[in-house]
Structure 1
Amino acid sequence: MNTLTDKHILLGITGSIAAYKSADLVRRLREQGALVRVIMTAAATEFITPLTLQAVSGQPVHTQLLDAATESAMGHIELARWAEVVLIAPASADFLAKLAGGHADDLLSTVCLATSAPIVVAPAMNLLMWQAPVTQENCQRLQRYGVKFFGPATGSQACGEIGKGRMLEPIEVVYHVQDLFRAKFLSGYQVLVTAGPTREEIDPVRFISNRSSGRMGYAIAQAAQAAGAQVTLISGPVALSPLTGVQLVSVYSAQEMLAAVMTQVATVDIFIATAAVADYRPSQPLGHKFKKHEAHWQITLERTPDILATVASLPHPPFTVGFAAETDNLIEYARAKLQLKKLDMIVANPVGIAGIGFDSEENELSILWAEDSIELPRAAKTELAKQLLEVIIQRYQKSGRLTP
């Protein structure tokens, strides 16, 4: 059964050009079995019609607070009680301010005050409006009140600017809503995740690294946090924003990552090593910029510490999951790594293929353990992370270290 089957989702739509996404959002929520009712603010109806939302939801759309046809039965209270989640997508800067101020001058804001259901918002606005100090203060206030935020995303905007402020795509919003209803299997457990590349200095301006974006590791950390775990994320240099509710430890080199892992690992239950740690580093990095004057430059490299093997060889290691990124012989090399390092599980992903792996928001994974394996077909890394974590939890349960 889908996690959203028969769940009551009250969707609030506010005045933003991103309101055009709301029709698709309703459709996708209903595909997952949710029951959806819609409230639109007056500004929202300027961007998309109530008739459109009525058609896709199969329910009358609510737009008026003082509607004689519904208020005789206290319509706003009925909606507030009906909802299991109040989802506001898109949430404009104006509505975030109204919500933070406790206003109740239209149907949607009144329902938000009258409901005991969780309130989640998917912001959508111009990047400068999002960055405005008053908007950020409003968001911080709402988070203190327990309002959850889905996004915003970074990308091109209707105004022509590029930056943070886009509403998440409907399928991403659905994934987040599903997380609200997933059982918190990891509540009370500690999970340690490594992500991103490391950089090994050649001289003060050059380094050895790789193309890892850190997206997979960050997605796994977020999925573990959604499953109730206390999560620490040790990240190499990436261009990703910190995750709400996840402790972030930023590192630079393989040696720094090893030190950070060993500081944390004694108290964790699950260790998931997604980081693409550099295998080699210059044995004698220069203290000054090397000036080009020769036709060739020879650099002697030495092995970096093997973080994954170090953790797996501890007297009482956590449940240890490694990653193997390979350009060829994917399963063969991954299984050899699983056995050599005595891991509980390894996740293999192909690299060097257009559209997946490094520098991509999508991937495909092969998950291997001693007795078996499973394939996760190509999907967004955020969705793959949830699927992968479900497999990890299942294997962790069977190891006897987690009570189902």
Structure 2
Amino acid sequence: MKITVYLTGGIACYKAVEVVRGLEKAGHKVRIVMTKNAEKFVGSVTLASLTKYPVLDDLWTKKNQASIPHVHLAQWTELAVVVPATASFIAKIANGFADEAATTTFLATSAPKLIIPAMNDQMWNNPATQRNLSKLKLDGIKIMEPAVGVLAEGYSAKGRMPELKNILLWIGKQIRRAKKLANKKIIVTAGGTLEAIDPVRFIGNRSSGKMGIAIAKAAANLGANVTLIYANITVSLPHDPLIKNVHVESTEDMLNIVEKYFVDCNALIMVAAVADWRVKRIADHKLKKNANQDTLNLSLIKTPDILKTVSKQKGKDQIIMGFAAETNELLKNASKKLQEKDADYIIANDVSQNVFGNDQDQVTILSRHNTPKKLKKMSKNEVAKYLVNIIVQEFDK
């Protein structure tokens, strides 16, 4: 797993070095973010030597001025761990501060987050600290209670950083909980299929593949083995050992590959914008534009209906989620598709409002047994996580 460890400025900071070593010994890839106060206790060179990767501690160095290192690291992260977490850092992240490298990177991170506080007992028991911890819990951030033991001040009380063994066991437990789709096989389709007219031209659509790829990543982050069947896309493919990228071009190609992998999959999420029509006869040469020719007539025939075809092969334990990209009468058309395709879910998506290639989207979820649920407008990554969690809930039934 890709884990970013945040070190903040408490005396327990030196113990965090052993946490980093323990995570690496467990096979995880670790990168480090440090506050300037943390570096007063432990040098960044120590952590860089352990991880073989530069420590992020300043957004304003010359090498960082031409890049956006906090966003890149936030996107890389699959789990964020703050150890030790000081009262000051807890207060900042609970209230959305982004005033230096650590808080900015943490705020930009959408991966699961773990907090391991360590501080004086009076600071721990302060109402402001407890309010901030409550805020973090409401945001879904997991908190490991500090231990009772001898503090830096020389007396015993609650606030001491837990022992290394207990920290690693707790992090491991949270990782296992996060892998809700471990051992599940999920197919995700993405992008727009292309139907050749001649060796040069084709019929296509505006799909970027961004949503499908976001869903593939979200499923892999929960431990699923994902087969990403992609057609024409305009964004980068994911590079993840849990994601197998399979390229296709036409709708018929996609159907053949989906059927191949559907046999033993647990869920199919059909996000791809497939072409509904193809030319009846593909020219074997480039169709030239002649001087006396003002029109070109193409005879089109239907392409295979992938969702409907595969739904007929669906087993009782398999889940199928399709997308309905519409420009008008969204719910009416999506409801019709839900019934005709015999899918478990249809995600209605109004594509008339600059959706293709955009980072944000607003969808409505339709299912057989529930009233439609319209989500608020959010990033496609957030939509992806929401939809994948629906699949998780289906498996838990």
TM-score range for the pair, normalised by the shorter chain length: 0.5 to 0.7
Query: Can you list the C-alpha shifts for 1:18-45, whole angstroms capped at 9, x where unaligned?
Result: xxxxxxxxxxxxxxxxxxx43xxxxxxx
Superposed displacement of residue 129, structure 1: 11
2:213 aligned residue (218, 223, 227): 218
Superposed displacement of residue 9, structure 1: 7.6
Question: CA 1:295–1:122 in structure 2 vs 1: closer, same or farther (change >3 Å)?
Answer: farther
Task: Tell me, in whole angstroms, the C-alpha distance in 1 between the residues paired with 2:287 and 2:64.
Answer: 44
Counterpart in the other structure of 2:267: 270
Which stretch of structure 1 is more off in the superposition, 212-221 or 119-128?
A: 119-128
Query: Can you list the C-alpha shifts for 1:60-113, whole angstroms capped at 9, x where unaligned?
Result: x48xxxxxxx5xxx85235644999865359xxxxxxxxxxxxxxx72342467
Counterpart in the other structure of 2:357: 359
* Equivalent AA in structure 1 for residue 280 of structure 2: S
**Preserved contact between residue 273 and residue 322 of structure 1 (Cα < 8 Å):** yes
**Preserved contact between residue 10 and residue 84 of structure 1 (Cα < 8 Å):** no
* Equivalent AA in structure 2 for residue 342 of structure 1: D
The structure 1 segments of at least 4 consecutive aligned residues displaced by more than 6 Å after TM superposition are 82-86, 112-115, 119-130
Task: Tell me, in whole angstroms, the C-alpha distance in 2 between the residues paired with 1:121 and 1:288.
Answer: 56
1:107 aligned residue (40, 43, 67): 43
Counterpart in the other structure of 1:282: 279
**Preserved contact between residue 4 and residue 33 of structure 2 (Cα < 8 Å):** no
Matched, 1:231 2:229: no
Question: CA 1:265–1:237 in structure 2 vs 1: closer, same or farther (change >3 Å)?
Answer: same
Counterpart in the other structure of 2:199: 204
1:9-20 paired onto structure 2 within 5 Å = 10-11=5-6
Counterpart in the other structure of 2:347: 347
* Equivalent AA in structure 2 for residue 379 of structure 1: M
Counterpart in the other structure of 1:18: none
**Preserved contact between residue 214 and residue 275 of structure 1 (Cα < 8 Å):** yes
**Preserved contact between residue 211 and residue 380 of structure 2 (Cα < 8 Å):** yes
**Preserved contact between residue 219 and residue 381 of structure 1 (Cα < 8 Å):** yes
**Preserved contact between residue 122 and residue 149 of structure 1 (Cα < 8 Å):** no
Counterpart in the other structure of 2:163: none
Question: CA 1:375–1:207 in structure 2 vs 1: closer, same or farther (change >3 Å)?
Answer: same
1:192 aligned residue (178, 187, 190): 187
Query: Can you list the C-alpha shifts for 1:269-309, whole angstroms capped at 9, x where unaligned?
Result: 00000000000001111111111121111000011111111
Counterpart in the other structure of 2:93: none
Task: Tell me, in whole angstroms, the C-alpha distance in 2 between the residues paired with 1:377 and 1:174.
Answer: 20
Q: Which runs of 5+ in 1 are unaligned?
A: 1-7, 12-36, 39-60, 63-69, 91-105, 131-147, 152-168, 399-404
CA RMSD of aligned residues (A): 3.8
Superposed displacement of residue 185, structure 1: 1.5
Task: Tell me, in whole angstroms, the C-alpha distance in 2 between the residues paired with 1:387 and 1:306.
Answer: 26
* Equivalent AA in structure 1 for residue 359 of structure 2: E
Task: Tell me, in whole angstroms, the C-alpha distance in 2 between the residues paired with 1:206 and 1:307.
Answer: 23
Question: CA 1:224–1:108 in structure 2 vs 1: closer, same or farther (change >3 Å)?
Answer: same
Task: Tell me, in whole angstroms, the C-alpha distance in 1 between the residues paired with 2:246 and 2:334.
Answer: 28
Query: Can you list the C-alpha shifts for 1:169-220, whole angstroms capped at 9, x where unaligned?
Result: 8478421244985622111110001000000011111110000000000000
**Preserved contact between residue 188 and residue 268 of structure 2 (Cα < 8 Å):** yes
**Preserved contact between residue 216 and residue 381 of structure 1 (Cα < 8 Å):** yes
Tell me the SS of whatever aligns to 2:361.
strand
Equivalenced residues, count:
283
Tell me the SS of whatever aligns to 1:257.
helix
Return the TM-score normalized by structure 2: 0.62
Query: Can you list the C-alpha shifts for 1:368-400, whole angstroms capped at 9, x where unaligned?
Result: 1012132221111111100111122223433xx
**Preserved contact between residue 191 and residue 270 of structure 1 (Cα < 8 Å):** yes
Tell me the SS of whatever aligns to 2:235.
coil
Superposed displacement of residue 10, structure 1: 4.2
Matched, 1:369 2:313: no
1:88 aligned residue (32, 35, 42): 32
Counterpart in the other structure of 2:137: none
Task: Tell me, in whole angstroms, the C-alpha distance in 2 between the residues paired with 1:236 and 1:320.
Answer: 19
**Preserved contact between residue 209 and residue 272 of structure 2 (Cα < 8 Å):** yes
* Equivalent AA in structure 2 for residue 324 of structure 1: A
Task: Tell me, in whole angstroms, the C-alpha distance in 1 between the residues paired with 2:65 and 2:306.
Answer: 39
Superposed displacement of residue 336, structure 1: 0.8
Return the TM-score normalized by structure 1: 0.61
Q: Which runs of 5+ in 2 are unaligned?
A: 24-29, 35-41, 69-74, 79-103, 115-173
* Equivalent AA in structure 2 for residue 225 of structure 1: A
Counterpart in the other structure of 2:109: 174
Work out the percentage of aligned pairs sharing the same amino acid. 34
Superposed displacement of residue 350, structure 1: 0.5
1:239-250 paired onto structure 2 within 5 Å = 239-243=234-238, 244-245=240-241, 246-250=243-247
Task: Tell me, in whole angstroms, the C-alpha distance in 2 between the residues paired with 1:214 and 1:337.
Answer: 21
* Equivalent AA in structure 1 for residue 301 of structure 2: E
* Equivalent AA in structure 1 for residue 15 of structure 2: I
Superposed displacement of residue 240, structure 1: 2.5
Question: CA 1:297–1:340 in structure 2 vs 1: closer, same or farther (change >3 Å)?
Answer: same
**Preserved contact between residue 185 and residue 225 of structure 2 (Cα < 8 Å):** yes
Task: Tell me, in whole angstroms, the C-alpha distance in 1 between the residues paired with 2:56 and 2:335.
Answer: 41
Tell me the SS of whatever aligns to 2:298.
coil
